[in-house]
Amino acid sequence: MFVRNVKLHLKANSASEFARTLESDVLPVLRKQNGFKDELALVGSNGSDAVSITMWDRKESAEAYARDTYPAVLKSLAKVIEGTPTVDTYEVSNSTYHKIAARN
């Protein structure tokens, strides 16, 4: 499993709108992507920092999304974010929820 970790800075007082936009605009798009497995969105206690973690079946699926669809997703989030989000990618080594164990 492969993960995209996107760190965003939210506009003032937009945490609720961020959550609504994810639910109404972003998740329907993600669910249509080949290899998409899960989305976890986090908003910091300060209300201005957010993290979006998407999980993919493999690296190639995440890369296809990043190349072909992510730019449109960013446009839909433009009303609630400031600046350019940073994206990091990871290979999942362990997950209790997804039942992934460390490789020996």
Mean pLDDT across 59-88: 97
As a whole number of angstroms, the distance between CA 46 and CA 24 comes to: 23
pLDDT for position 15: 96
Note the CATH number of domain 2-91.
Answer: 3.30.70.100
Q: What is the pLDDT of residues 6-58, one digit of tens each?
A: 999 999 999 999 999 999 999 999 999 999 999 999 999 999 999 999 999 99
- For Cα atoms 54, 44, 28, give the angle at the middle one, nearest 5 degrees: 35
User: Residue 97 contacts by C-beta under 8 Å, 6 or more apart in sequence?
Assistant: none
pLDDT for position 103: 65
pLDDT range class, residue 93, cuts 50, 70, 90 = confident
User: Residue 55 contacts by C-beta under 8 Å, 6 or more apart in sequence?
Assistant: 1, 2, 3, 36, 37, 38, 39, 40, 92, 98
Domain boundaries, the chain: 2-91
CA neighbor of 40 nearest in space, from 52, 56, 57: 52
pLDDT for position 97: 73
pLDDT for position 52: 97
